[in-house]
Amino acid sequence: MTAPKDNPGGGMTLAEAIIASHTADSVAPGAVCRTRVDFAFANDITGPPAIEEFRRMGAVRVFDPERCAIIPDHFTPNKDIASAEGAKRAREFAREQGMKYWEVGRVGVEHAFIPETGNALPGEIIIGADSHTCTYGALGALGTGMGQTDLAAVWALGETWLRVPETLRVILRGAPSRWVGGKDLIIHLIGVIGVEGARYMSIEFHGDAAASLPQDDRFTMSNMAIEAGAKCGLFVPDETTMTYASARGTRDFTPVYPGEGARYARTVEIDASSVEPTVALPHLPGNARRARDCAHLEIDQVFIGSCTNGRSRDIEIAADMLAGRTVHERVRLIVIPASYEVYNEALERGWLRIFSEAGAAVCTPTCGPCMGGHLGILAAGERAVSTSNRNFVGRMGHKESEIILASPAVAAASAILGRVADPREVSGDTRPS
């Protein structure tokens, strides 16, 4: 790791400053810049089409095998012949190129696994063939998703073009209450600005509430920036960031910071102390409601996991809620730790036993039901509470099913009561937030 340097962009926003550190072009909102890329990856679904485009354009070798990867996580362990064939093509290409690839049993959900292994670091530009690549903004990195053709070009060239986004500054003030975390705050924010409220913008998080959030909660918030239409969702690097990145980094990195006098397209202020446990009702992540106002909604399934909320803090919160309690007889609870680091911690700390004794199914790290893949598909007429990031029509199964997005605390409480539940109902803390 290299020591932090002064922001080279002067009065730039964080997104502008990161791009400026990776390009020789003039940086201003709306400008199109040719930028270096620090890490580029696909998964088992987007990898095979990217490989095909890589071949079609005449490329022979990836620009740097240590900075290119395929993360098999969506349909793995392979759920059918088609997914097995796709994973095989990805595996063979990775071996041919000598690029990074991890097998089932050693990998996890890409957006949890990549930062855990130090492959996304402060100040970097990360390109992934997956829309939730914006997750790495939690580390002060500009992560953004692109299509397979663009990803193939990055693999070949080590660079891409980026249109410099305008920036929405979000100031989170106050102290969130006990049962309010990153998921509640980001759903609340999307409810305020709408699912197009930050279209092709960078969301830059500020304020004492943002600074107080644990790293796992920051990943959750950056992950869902795309659900407001954003290009990325960035936290300014601080001690929390540096502690996490320094312990895991696989290469030197230089944090980048917004400059004094940076110009923001818009500023939104949120009083985090007034936010209650919050859910997003079907069929938009911005359809925000207080959990306690949705107690009339009975449920059939709860999913705790995904790149949004399958990390250690998420699993611990759910386990604490379920300890000594039982999943409602009408509900099936599926718990999927987002990586083997999380899985092994859950094993060592007894969380897996808590889930098993409560009546939950615990599965190997994978995306699973999040995008309607496997291990928890919904039938017509079924309703689920999910800690994932999207609740579009048919996202987790039948087009006549429903998904309610929630935090791990709300999800666990709902699994116990058989309906959407405010965690304070189960904890016994009935005080308002």
DSSP state of 82: H
Q: What is the pLDDT of residues 44-58, one digit of tens each?
A: 999 999 999 999 999
Whole-model pTM: value is 0.94
Annotated domain spans of the chain? 15-252+261-271, 280-423
Q: Does 280-423 match 15-252+261-271 at the fold level?
A: yes
Confidence band of 430 (pLDDT split at 50, 70, 90): low
What's the rounded Cα separation, in Å, for the pair 106 and 76? 12
Can you say how many angstroms the Cα of residue 339 is from the centroid of all Cα atoms in its chain? Answer: 13
Can you say how many angstroms the Cα of residue 126 is from the centroid of all Cα atoms in its chain? Answer: 14
What's the rounded Cα separation, in Å, for the pair 84 and 107? 16
Class of the CATH-defined domain 15-252+261-271: alpha beta
The whole-number pLDDT of residue 250 equals 87
Mean pLDDT of 29-55: 97
Residues 6+ apart with CB under 8 A from 196: 228, 229
Burial code of 119-152, b = ≥16 C-beta within 10 A, e = fewer?
bbbbbbbbbbbbebbbbbbbbbbbbbbbebebbb
Q: What is the pLDDT of residues 135-178, one digit of tens each?
A: 999 999 999 999 999 999 999 999 999 999 999 999 999 999 99
| Single-letter code of the amino acid located at 69 | A
What's the rounded Cα separation, in Å, for the pair 292 and 423? 9
Confidence band of 10 (pLDDT split at 50, 70, 90): low
The whole-number pLDDT of residue 3 equals 33
Pick the CATH number of 280-423 from 3.90.800.10, 3.90.79.10, 3.30.499.10, 3.40.50.300: 3.30.499.10
Q: What is the pLDDT of residues 217-237, one digit of tens each?
A: 999 999 999 999 999 999 999
The whole-number pLDDT of residue 369 equals 94
3-state percent helix, strand, coil for the chain, nearest multiple of 5: 35, 20, 45
Determine contact, residues 335/347, Cβ cutoff 8 Å. Answer: no
Query: What Rg value do the Cα atoms of the chain yield, rounded?
Result: 21
The percent of residues above 70 in pLDDT, for the chain, comes to 97
Is pLDDT above 90 for 7?
A: no
Burial code of 290-317, b = ≥16 C-beta within 10 A, e = fewer?
ebbebeebebbbbbbbbbbbbbbbbbbb
Is pLDDT above 50 for 98?
A: yes
| H-assigned helices in 117-258 | 148-157, 182-193, 208-212, 215-223, 239-248
Tell me the Ramachandran region of residue 229: left when phi exceeds 0, alpha when psi lies from -120 to 50, beta otherwise: left
The whole-number pLDDT of residue 1 equals 38
Mean pLDDT of 186-206: 97
Is pLDDT above 50 for 2?
A: no
Considering only 169-173, 253-257, 424-428, which range has the smallest mean pLDDT? 424-428
Other beta carbons within 10 Å of 400: 12
Closest to 227 (Cα-Cα) out of 166, 183, 162, 267: 183
Determine contact, residues 307/226, Cβ cutoff 8 Å. Answer: no
Is pLDDT above 60 for 199?
A: yes
The whole-number pLDDT of residue 428 equals 79
Q: What is the pLDDT of residues 356-400, one digit of tens each?
A: 999 999 999 999 999 999 999 999 999 999 999 999 999 999 999
Mean pLDDT of 86-100: 96
